Amino acid sequence: MTPEDIRIPVDGSALSGDLVLPSAGPVVVFAHGSGSSRHSPRNRAVAAELRRAGLGTLLLDLLTADEERTDLLTARFRFDIGLLSDRLVRAVDWLAAREDAAPMPVGVFGASTGAAAALRTAAERPGRVQAVVSRGGRPDLAGDSALRRVQAPVLLIVGGDDQEVLRLNREAAELLHVPNRVEVIPGATHLFEEPGALEEVARLAREWFLHPGSDGRWEER
């Protein structure tokens, strides 16, 4: 499937993305981590595995071109969870406005700080976001209130050797009122660069998006 080069209008500019729609949902929107973009090789590898399973994907830049240039020099935007969440919400709304995508369920895959944006988006759009997966994420940055309002099943994937992030994920999971799981990949560090680690992330994400939560099906909301 050849990705469609898309632009999502935002604040007088636009966010760039690569969209692949399946014949039938779900569509997984990717929220990259700090200092990354839709060209992240790790997210692209996970997205390719999801597409092989028949899922759609939207790899998206959460910053405009001007903002990315500023962020490279100053790191001004990469930890602005409010801004990143707002952009992700706009992407979910943009999909809902497309006739060919509106009927499809939406999942969100967040990495690093993108995980916080993914969870806030799930809290803001409970009728649209129906599954969330975090890879080496910082769900704690979403804030306690947002975590308690999430209605979609949540999978938190963490490397076994990423001890501080693992602690933060376990604490965040305690605040969730939905089916959730902290999945630890033994021997993996924060970027899952170890042999087989990223492949395991992709496998776990694929299964969660196909069968979110404990009931093995996409819930009708």
pTM, two decimal places: 0.91
156-180 confidence digits (pLDDT tens): 999 999 999 999 999 999 999 999 9
69-83 confidence digits (pLDDT tens): 887 787 777 788 999
Strands 180-185 and 154-159: parallel
37-73 confidence digits (pLDDT tens): 677 788 899 999 999 999 999 999 888 888 888 877 8
8 Å CB contact between 134 and 111: yes
Of the chain, the end-to-end C-alpha distance in Å amounts to: 29
Q: Cα separations (Å) of 118 from 47, 56, 74, 194, 221?
A: 16, 17, 24, 25, 18
